Amino acid sequence: GAVVSQHPSWVICKSGTSVKIECRSLDFQATTMFWYRQFPKQSLMLMATSNEGSKATYEQGVEKDKFLINHASLTLSTLTVTSAHPEDSSFYICSARDFSGSLGTPTDTQYFGPGTRLTVL
């Protein structure tokens, strides 16, 4: 079964509005979560690393004021796309790192959420 959930699975919004996406680890505690963006037929592009209890680390070229990340607990990270524009339309995927190996896979395996498809009109 799924070990990482993401909500919502899809969202359509008007340009200029903000959208919040939640990522939850269901079967383990995740001190570190990652946010990716994926355009059609392209690979995953890491946007930022979300650390529980501290500030997120953003990859080069990713605007931290536009993509707000909050990792308030060991099982929840949120990504808020502020003042969304059509070029922000994409598939956003989160992953959570299982540092303990408690799920029977190698330590530090990343488990991915089902993704959120954002369409900005």
Partner 1 sequence: GQNIDQPTEMTATEGAIVQINCTYQTSGFNGLFWYQQHAGEAPTFLSYNVLDGLEEKGRFSSFLSRSKGYSYLLLKELQMKDSASYLCAVRDRMDSSYKLIFGSGTRLLVRP
Q: Which residues bind partner 1 (CB under 8 A)?
A: 6, 32, 34, 41-44, 46, 49, 51, 57, 91, 93, 97, 99, 105-106, 108-115, 117
As measured in angstroms, the least distance from the Cβ of 97 to partner 1 is: 6
CA distance 108 to 99: 4
CA distance 80 to 65: 10
As measured in angstroms, the least distance from the Cβ of 16 to partner 1 is: 27
As measured in angstroms, the least distance from the Cβ of 117 to partner 1 is: 8
CB nearer to partner 1: pick between 9 and 83: 9
CB nearer to partner 1: pick between 57 and 82: 57
Strand-pair category, 4-7 with 10-13: unpaired
As measured in angstroms, the least distance from the Cβ of 54 to partner 1 is: 11
Q: Which of 51, 60, 57 is nearest to 31 (CA)?
A: 51
Find residue 21's DSSP bridge partners. 79
74 conformational bin, left if phi > 0, alpha if psi -120 to 50, beta if neither = alpha
CB nearer to partner 1: pick between 14 and 41: 41
